[in-house]
Every structure is written in C-alpha cells, then in structure tokens.
C-alpha cells in the first residue's frame, strides 16, 4: 500500500515514508518545482531511516529527467551512504552533485565525499571513481581531482589521497602545479619528508611542472619542522637561482627556525637580507628573534633589535596581515 504525499506530524521519525513512484513521476512532469521539493522532502526522511534503496530510485528518476536537487540534499545522501559503507552509491551521488552544480562545488562537498570513504579499503573502486569524474569534468582540468585529493588529506586519509595523485598520470586530466603543491603539503605535514623531496624532484623530471614560490615555501616550511636547516638554505638559494623571490613566509620560516635552534647569527643575517629585498618584516619575526637572542645570552643585541622594532612598529606587518600574506 502506497503512502500519500504528506506525512503526519505525529508520525514516528524512524518510519520510512514511501510514496508511489508513478505519482512522483507525474508530479515532476506536471509541476517540476513542486515535484523536486517533494523528492527532496522524502529523500531527507528516507536517509534518516536508512532506506537508501528507495532514495536511489528517486534519484534515478530525477537523473533520467535531467533534474537535480540542491547540494545539501546530495550531501545528506552521501553521508548516509558512507555510514552504510555503500561507496558505489556515494560515487554515483557525487557525480549527480557535480552535474547539479554545473561543476562548481564548495570544498564541503569534497570533504563529505572523503569522509564517506573512511571505512573503504577498495582501492580499485576508488580509482575507477576518480577516472569517471575525470571523464565527466572539462578535459585536462585537474581542479576537481585536486580538490578530491585535498578532501582525503583533510579527513586524514593520506594514503588514499596519494593513491589518487599517482593515478592521475593515467587520466585525461594531468597533474598541475596545484596538484603538486597540495601533495607536497600533505607529505610535509605528515612528516614524510623523504617522500616529499622525491615528489618535488619528480615535478620537472616526470611531469614537466615548474615549481613556484608556494612550492618552495611548502618544502622549506616542512624541512624546518624536522630541523633540516641546511636543506632549507639550499632550497632558498635554488629558489633565487630560478628567479623566484623569497617572500614573507619564506623568511619567517627561516628566521624563526634558525633563531630557535640557536643559530642566531644566521637568523640576523636573514633579517638583514629580508630588509635589503624591501620585504616588510612582521612583528612576529622581531619578537621571535629577540626572544631567541635572549636565550643565548645576547642581551645587548636583543635590546638593540627591540629598539629597532619599536621605532618602526607602524610599518611592520601585523599578525592579521601576516596571516593574509601566507595564505
């Protein structure tokens, strides 16, 4: 027996509402806006009850008619399917979502997609899904795959993100500078420095992708966290040799790291180099360096630097400006 298009207000939440598919089709044909509203209502209720089979039927009807719902509805479905480890359904819904938004998705969509794969160990299905997405989106555009990789990284599924990265070379869309910058950041944050350096070396050798300032800053920032400071200097020099100017982020990483490790003379030299390049230091750089000078007993130099900071404080980059600069 089919239920009507309305659900009683006192009806238990966990009872899955059902509606005649023929009536849905009729409503979509006669009044598409109302029909889509009805579909959205039932899909939310059905997801709450875990009845994804009926949700799949409703989405299939919409797909056949070239109709799509709002992103929030697809997010609900993907989350529910992920909780049931129905990764094939998650993949299909994500493709509907891409079409519904004209390929312009918020990063939230990619995060929800990645979370839905948390318990999946099926690498073949994941790679097939990535291939299907690459064929669905505009040719040679890696933006969507980059966002998928980033979504997996944010949800701490680093190896899945890297699996996708290595798979891209077999697809129509190719790795670009954004792909590499994302992957270098992923590996650096995970402390997988040797892998990061290998990926960096492969940029020119295998992908013919030229590193940019963001690339070098990512590598330098990751190296400093493991105290490989001489390598930081090596990459800073290489950066300049390739015509790329170190920026506020580059110098902030270097000065803070050399100062903290007790190599304050080198930190001071970097500060002077920074000023010669007419890059405005931040208050953070001065304060960190002053603190590190005091720790190694260079109190006069710390006092002199403090006076210098106070004399030009209105010209220094504030913490708010600094965050904006390094994004």
- Cβ atoms 244, 276 nearer than 8 A: no
Under DSSP, is residue 110 helix (H, G, I), strand (E, B) or coil?
helix
In this prediction, residue 257 carries a pLDDT of 92
> Using CA atoms, how far apart are residues 87 and 118, in angstroms rounded to an integer?
10
How far apart, in whole angstroms, are the C-alpha atoms of residue 266 and residue 286? 14
pLDDT band at 324 (very low <50, low <70, confident <90, very high): very low
CA triplet 159, 134, 58: central angle to 5 degrees?
A: 100
Residue count (the chain) = 327
**Section 146-153 average pLDDT:** 93
The confidence score (pLDDT) of residue 319 equals 55
pLDDT at 314: 75
Q: What is the pLDDT at residue 213?
A: 95
CB hemisphere CA count around 248 (13 angstroms): 19
Token pair recorded at residue 73: 């509805």
* Range 79-106 average pLDDT: 85
CB atoms within 10 A of CB 115: 19
Only one residue has tokens 């015509």, namely: 243
Pair 117, 160: CB distance under 8 Å: yes
- Is 14 a residue whose pLDDT tops 80? no
> For residue range 173-202, what is the model confidence (pLDDT) as tens digits?
788 999 999 999 999 999 999 999 999 999
pLDDT 10s digits, 198-236: 999 998 777 688 999 999 999 999 999 888 999 999 999
Are residues 259 and 295 in contact, defined by beta-carbon separation less than 8 angstroms? Answer: no
User: φ, ψ for residue 301 (rounded to 5)?
Assistant: -65, -40
What DSSP character marks residue 70?
A: -
Are the C-beta atoms of residues 274 and 244 closer than 8 Å to each other? no
Tokens representing 110? 């990619």
* pLDDT tens sequence across 21-64: 888 888 888 898 999 998 999 999 999 888 899 899 999 999 99
Q: Give dist(CA 183, CA 233) in Å, integer.
A: 22
pLDDT band at 15; cut points 50, 70, 90? very low
Q: Compute the distance between CA of residue 172 and CA of residue 134 in angstroms, rounded to an integer.
A: 7
User: Which string of b and e fits 176-212 if b means at least 16 CB within 10 Å?
Assistant: bbbbbbbbbbbbbebebbebbbebbeebeeebebebb
């Amino acid at each position: 027996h089919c239920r009507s298009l309305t659900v009683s207000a006192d009806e238990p939440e966990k009872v899955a509402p059902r509606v005649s598919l023929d009536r849905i089709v009729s409503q979509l044909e006669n009044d598409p806006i109302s029909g889509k509203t009805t579909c959205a209502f039932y899909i939310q209720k059905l997801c709450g009850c875990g009845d994804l089979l009926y949700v799949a039927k409703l989405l299939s009807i919409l797909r056949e008619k070239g109709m799509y719902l709002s992103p929030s509805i697809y997010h609900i479905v993907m989350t529910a399917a992920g909780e049931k480890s129905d990764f094939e359904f998650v993949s299909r819904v994500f493709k509907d979502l891409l079409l519904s938004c004209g390929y312009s998705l918020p990063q939230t969509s990619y995060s929800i997609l990645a979370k839905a794969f948390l318990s999946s160990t099926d690498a073949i299905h994941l790679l097939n899904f990535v291939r299907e997405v690459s064929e669905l989106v505009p040719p040679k555009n890696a933006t969507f795959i980059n966002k998928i990789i980033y979504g997996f990284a944010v949800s701490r599924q680093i190896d899945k993100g890297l699996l996708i990265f290595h798979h891209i070379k077999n697809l129509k869309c190719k790795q670009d500078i954004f792909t590499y910058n994302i992957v270098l950041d992923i590996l650096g944050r995970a402390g997988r420095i040797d892998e990061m350096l290998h990926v960096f070396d492969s940029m020119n050798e295998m992908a013919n992708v030229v590193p940019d300032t963001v690339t070098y800053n990512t590598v330098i920032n990751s190296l400093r966290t493991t105290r490989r400071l001489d390598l930081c200097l090596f990459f800073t020099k290489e950066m300049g040799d390739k015509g790329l100017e170190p920026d506020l982020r580059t110098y902030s990483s270097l000065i803070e790291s050399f100062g903290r490790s007790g190599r304050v003379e080198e930190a001071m030299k970097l500060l002077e180099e920074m000023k010669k390049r007419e890059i405005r230091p931040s208050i953070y750089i001065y304060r960190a360096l002053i603190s590190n000078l005091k720790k190694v007993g260079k109190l006069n130099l710390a006092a002199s630097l403090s006076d210098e900071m106070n004399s030009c404080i209105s010209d220094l980059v504030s913490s708010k400006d600094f965050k904006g600069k390094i994004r």
